[in-house]
Amino acid sequence: MDNMDKIRLMKEKIELLNRAAKAYYQENREIMSNYEYDKLYDELAELEKETGMVLSNSPTDRVGYELLTALPKERHEKPMLSLDKTKDVEALRSWLGSRKGMLSWKLDGLTLVLTYRGGSLEKAVTRGNGEVGEVVTNNVKVFKNIPLVIPYKGDLVL
């Protein structure tokens, strides 16, 4: 397969992956399983590696979703990137090197940046697209597993 064929295939995979992400993140529905999405994503990443090209709308170059709601937006101080994953034990060993590591399942869910000042929750912002998130502080205050007050009295961003 020549590079032009690979680029055509990349465009097809990007269109499918972006359609699936929009359905999942913006329409609260799934049009393919996580397994199918991950398989397509890995195939796209391999094609990008082979061609040395990443197209501007590639899901391998961004995380999260486009913000569509009327909630206030806020830019993160540092990018909120997605966790990487691997299915290759040797790649994991190589990445760990001589360090110890702990494995856990990668769970889908909401990623938040929580800001505490003087021990009190001041702000909660979604990951959004990794650079800009939505301020959801009032919503988060009713979550049972997020403390409104913590023992640490300094400034803390989690």
Which residues are annotated as catalytic? 106
Helix (H, G, I), strand (E, B) or coil at 110: coil
Helix (H, G, I), strand (E, B) or coil at 135: strand
Strand partners, 149: 120
What are the φ and ψ backbone dihedral angles of 109, each rounded to 5 degrees? 165, -175
Q: Other C-beta atoms within 10 Å of 149: how many?
A: 10
Residue pair 38/108 in contact by the 8 Å Cβ criterion:
no
Rounded to whole angstroms, what are the CA distances from 69 to 54, 72, 84, 103, 133? 29, 8, 27, 35, 11
What are the φ and ψ backbone dihedral angles of 17, each rounded to 5 degrees? -65, -40
Q: Maximum Cα–Cα distance for the chain, whole Å? A: 60
